[in-house]
Amino acid sequence: MAITAKDVKKLRGMTGAGMMDCKRALVASGGDFEAAVDQLRKKGLKVASRRASKKALQGLVVARISADRRSGILVEVNCETDFVARNSEFVAFASTVADRILADRPADPAVLLALDFGDGRTVRDHLTDLIGKIGEKMAISRFAVLESDEGVVVSYVHPGARLGVLVELSGSGALERTGRDVAMQVAALNPVAAFRHEVPQEVKDKEMEIAQEAARLEGKPERIIDIIAKGKLERYFKDNVLVEQPFVKDSSMRVRDILRQAQGTLHRFVRYQLGR
């Protein structure tokens, strides 16, 4: 049968695939729209399989905050090139994925991929279609959900959407403004933990070992090596623990000082940097 421009436009509307891909699928299926849709999906699966070994380190970090400010999500959606990361369809896909996570709070990536994208088809279906259409490996590599019973969740996404942060705070002060300042601090200085008791023991042990070895190489007496190492560990905490870091907007203060001034309590943070 003859394939008309109207047929091609209809299939494009159903799948979002390119005009030529739609025409080829309709020709191959003899005008059967259901078979043409299946063919386009198979193309996406073939492209995904062919590019499975490729690295997908570009993409977007997207944040969403609920209307009541009590919950927020952060998601990283990856592709192979920065060019595709700026593609309007990729951007729209990442945005819808973020909306779905905020609305449905999936437990893990497998549950996320099985969610309804909003049109009766799953997130996985749309991801596969987009891979087939654009021709790059894509993945939803990770996501985080923060929920607060008594405070707020604040987000910050750095221009370019390659870095995003969520912060949970509670208190009686200006939590939104303070939360954004803290989130920007996390983005800029990449702390290893919010509080020193959260620093993994293996990290502390490693820092002590490095400091001890450095002291020995400098010829320090053995009896004071542990004292020197503990002093350097303290310095490590001040540089790498969020509440102890100098505040980026005013280095005469530490982050814990601005929290105290705002009558706010920090609970936790999440930081995603693209590809890391």
Q: Mean pLDDT lowest for which of 35-39, 72-76, 179-183, 224-228? A: 35-39
CA distance 94 to 81: 15
Q: Say if residue 135 is in the same domain as residue 75.
A: yes
pLDDT digits (tens, 9 = 90+) for 193-221: 999 999 999 999 999 999 999 999 999 99
Q: Say if residue 64 is in the same domain as residue 129.
A: yes
Q: Is the pLDDT of residue 134 over 60?
A: yes
Residue 262, in any domain of the structure:
no
Q: Say if residue 93 is in the same domain as residue 33.
A: no
pLDDT of residue 186: 98
Average confidence (pLDDT) over 82-96: 95
Q: Is the pLDDT of residue 99 over 90?
A: yes
Angle made by CA atoms 29, 30, 33, in degrees to the nearest 5: 60
Q: Is the pLDDT of residue 87 over 60?
A: yes
Residue 102, in any domain of the structure:
yes
Could you tell me if 254 and 245 are in contact, meaning their C-beta atoms sit under 8 angstroms apart? yes
Q: Say if residue 13 is in the same domain as residue 31.
A: yes
Average confidence (pLDDT) over 107-121: 90
Q: Say if residue 74 is in the same domain as residue 135.
A: yes
Residue 163, in any domain of the structure:
no
Helix (H) or strand (E) holding 85: helix 82-85
Q: Say if residue 133 is in the same domain as residue 94.
A: yes
Q: Is the pLDDT of residue 16 over 80?
A: no
Domain CATH number, residue 138: 3.30.479.20
Percent of the chain scoring above 70 in pLDDT: 95
User: Where is pLDDT greater, at 226 or 9?
Assistant: 226
Average confidence (pLDDT) over 9-22: 73
In the chain, the number of structural domains is: 3
pLDDT of residue 31: 81
Q: Say if residue 134 is in the same domain as residue 58.
A: yes
> In the chain, how many H helices and how many E strands?
11, 8
**Looking at 32, 50, 68, which one is the last position of a domain?**
50
Residue 25, in any domain of the structure:
yes
Mean pLDDT of the chain: 90
Residue 166, in any domain of the structure:
no
Q: Which DSSP symbol is given to 248?
A: T
**In 3-state terms, the chain is what percent helix, strand and coil (to 5)?**
50, 20, 25
Q: Is the pLDDT of residue 108 over 70?
A: yes
Q: Is the pLDDT of residue 24 over 90?
A: no
Q: Is the pLDDT of residue 161 over 80?
A: yes
Q: Say if residue 100 is in the same domain as residue 40.
A: no
Q: 149, exposed or middle or buried, with CB in 10 Å at 0-12, 13-18, 19+?
A: exposed
pLDDT of residue 226: 93
User: Where is pLDDT greater, at 258 or 173?
Assistant: 258
Q: Say if residue 76 is in the same domain as residue 26.
A: no
Residue 64, in any domain of the structure:
yes
Q: Which tokens is 158 given?
A: 């750095």
Q: Say if residue 126 is in the same domain as residue 59.
A: yes
Residue 223 domain boundaries = 200-240
Residue 97, in any domain of the structure:
yes
Query: Model pTM greater than 0.85?
Result: no
Residue 143, in any domain of the structure:
yes
pLDDT of residue 83: 94
Confidence of residue 84 (pLDDT cuts 50, 70, 90): very high
pLDDT of residue 14: 67
Average confidence (pLDDT) over 102-111: 93
Q: Say if residue 82 is in the same domain as residue 120.
A: yes
Q: How many residues appear in the chain?
A: 276
pLDDT of residue 29: 81
pLDDT of residue 1: 61
Q: Mean pLDDT lowest for which of 50-54, 107-111, 130-134? A: 50-54
pLDDT of residue 17: 66
Q: How many CB atoms lie within 10 A of CB 234?
A: 12
Q: Say if residue 16 is in the same domain as residue 71.
A: no
